[in-house]
Structure 1
Amino acid sequence: MSATIYLVGAGGQLGKALRASDKASARVRALTSADIDITDEASVANALAGLGAGDVILNCAAYTDVDGAESDVGRAFAVNRDGPGHLARMSAGSGARLIHVSTDYVFAGAAATDDAPPRTVPYEPADVTGEPETVYGASKLAGERIVFDTDPTATVVRTAWVYTGAPTSSDFVGTMRRLESARPDITVVNDQTGSPTYAPDLADGLWELVSTDPDGPAAGVMLHATNAGSVSWYEVARAVFEELGADPERVRPCTTDEFPRPAPRPAYSVLSGASWTTAGLTPLRDWRAALQAAVTGDRTGRG
């Protein structure tokens, strides 16, 4: 019998992309927050009552309000640390496979100082994370640790700057699309560097991971998966304007200090894709081609 894929967080941004992917397993059991409360061990046990050896838990549920987490610490840790721990206990106890999605925010990504130059080398999974500067990052790092401590055969996939780019979406690309028609010009930070990741591309990559040998090179390891390349938020905004046929000069740069937020953002959080390819998985395409696909609606997005 084919494995059942328990998709946890099926109602979120990535969960919806996983469900919509043409690579999705025919045996997906989509679990939204109405079906499972990952912070409640009894709810987890009930929702995963049929879990058995060979099945897969694909967890993309998370508390992702980076600024909100600063004042909602208990909830952030309950969802991002305790929830994955409950899922890991289920996978370890049943022989099922757990794939858990994490974030670039686990790295401190500190800005340059008088004593240290800015980082320019993408992070590998084995790199020391340091102390995350946000509650969100700290809670996700704690989640990674509890997953591996509880189920050493699990796979954790870090990603970054995930978006769908839909005109009505609240992600960065969707917001830039709306602002282009609403304002004569906009100001965007130019000193935060990362790897924008198109949710449908990440979803396809995760389905490829699900299809691999559960005892293969991806078992019990940390992987990084983002669209290729690195860029600043300012450059992403300019690219969105270009795809819309608008003048990119209407996007003006500013510094992080000029645009303060409750939660400090990493100055540099680019993730290396080497671990993904080493595990035998297909690299995600370049960020620019993916952005074109998101804005134009053409999934091929050649750039």
Structure 2
Amino acid sequence: MKILVTGANGQLGREVVHQFNQNYEVIGYGKDELDISNLDRVSFILKKDCPDVIIHSAAYTAVDECETQGIKAIEINGLGAANVARAARKIGARMFYISTDYVFNGEKEIPYLENDKTNPLSMYGLSKLVGELMVQTILPNSTIIRTSWLYGHDGKNFVKTMIHFARENKKVRVVNDQVGSPTYTADLVEIINVLLEKPNGIYHVSNTGTCSWYQFAKRIYKEAGSDPELVTPCTTEEYGALAKRPKFSVMDHGGLKSKKVPLPRKWEVALQAFMKREFFK
């Protein structure tokens, strides 16, 4: 099986390439090599490489920036995904589109099902939803994977920032009224690997269990050997981020369960594994 990865230099793309290289022929393209907003370029690359599967992890993920760069967000996350889907359709490839829990508004009090109504609060969430809809419309041979609070070993993310602060014994204030499920890229990629052999559809993939960002940060400080009491809670309003975030974006794993896919491990265990690999890589 030949697999092409977009966004191969990002934290998820790098993990896909790292794991899939062990069993498949993998071709990875970073944003400098493959501009997904350019349909001609995308079509040329896909026709040349002719992959069986495309893992589309390229995205504009700066949530707050998307609020002021709305056109760019739609061009990359929406129209870019559509370009990949069109090119994939021409060569008969299957496509995996990586989406987000931010397609939901967070007003639900129980975990979101795959078929629950979407209603994003932010431009980032909207742009990813546009991508979902375009991919599903253009390419029936596609799978949508919604994930949440993603962190990995490459690039910037919440966990690496908190580890840096913990090492400096720095006091931090972290939002305590947004609840979700942290997801380790290594665990997400393991599930993608399993889903290669499963039917198309929408799947929710995150580490199991829930926490607030504040609880997450306290656990990171603890695992880093720092004092968790250095982390204090604040509200979303007090923090004052530009983009609105869902207050509750926990996702149900019904899709994985229905296809008998083993669920990812608990987020606390995944965090420990991440930090062990991060410290000794």
**Is this a same-fold pair by TM over 0.5?**
yes
Match in the other structure for 1:252: 232
Matched, 1:91 2:88: yes
Please identify, of 276-285 and 187-196, the stretch whose mean Cα deviation from structure 2 is larger: 276-285
Matched, 1:142 2:130: yes
- Say whether the 8 Å CA contact 2:93–2:141 is kept in structure 1: no
- Say whether the 8 Å CA contact 2:6–2:29 is kept in structure 1: yes
Q: Distance in 1 between matches of 2:158 and 2:146?
A: 19
Match in the other structure for 2:47: 49
User: Aligned in 2, Cα 1:184/1:40: closer, same or farther, shift over 3 Å?
Assistant: closer
Q: Distance in 2 between matches of 1:264 and 1:174?
A: 23
Among the aligned pairs, what percent are the same residue? Answer: 37
Aligned pair count reads 279
- Say whether the 8 Å CA contact 1:38–1:79 is kept in structure 2: yes
Match in the other structure for 1:127: 116
- Say whether the 8 Å CA contact 1:5–1:25 is kept in structure 2: no
- The match for 2:157 among 150, 159, 171 is 171
Match in the other structure for 1:114: none
Q: Distance in 2 between matches of 1:25 and 1:32?
A: 21
Deviation at 1:24, TM superposition (A): 4.5
Q: Distance in 2 between matches of 1:47 and 1:91?
A: 10
Q: Distance in 2 between matches of 1:298 and 1:31?
A: 24
Letter in 1 for 2:188: L
Match in the other structure for 1:116: none
Unaligned runs of 5+ in 1: 111-118
- Say whether the 8 Å CA contact 1:51–1:94 is kept in structure 2: no
User: Aligned in 2, Cα 1:147/1:272: closer, same or farther, shift over 3 Å?
Assistant: same
Q: Distance in 2 between matches of 1:42 and 1:59?
A: 17
Match in the other structure for 1:70: 67
Deviation at 1:56, TM superposition (A): 0.6
Match in the other structure for 2:57: 60
Q: How does 1:269-288 map to 2 (within 5 A)?
A: 269-288=249-268
- Say whether the 8 Å CA contact 2:181–2:211 is kept in structure 1: yes
Deviation at 1:183, TM superposition (A): 4.4
Match in the other structure for 2:204: 224
Q: Distance in 1 between matches of 2:133 and 2:278?
A: 38
- Say whether the 8 Å CA contact 1:9–1:15 is kept in structure 2: yes
- Say whether the 8 Å CA contact 1:81–1:146 is kept in structure 2: yes
Unaligned runs of 5+ in 2: none
Matched, 1:7 2:5: yes
User: Aligned in 2, Cα 1:103/1:61: closer, same or farther, shift over 3 Å?
Assistant: same
Task: Please give the secondary structure, in 1, of the residue aligned with 2:160.
Answer: helix
Q: TM-score, normalised by structure 1?
A: 0.87
Matched, 1:266 2:246: yes
Please report the RMSD computed on the Cα atoms of aligned residues, expressed in angstroms.
1.8
Q: Distance in 2 between matches of 1:192 and 1:157?
A: 21
Match in the other structure for 1:33: 31
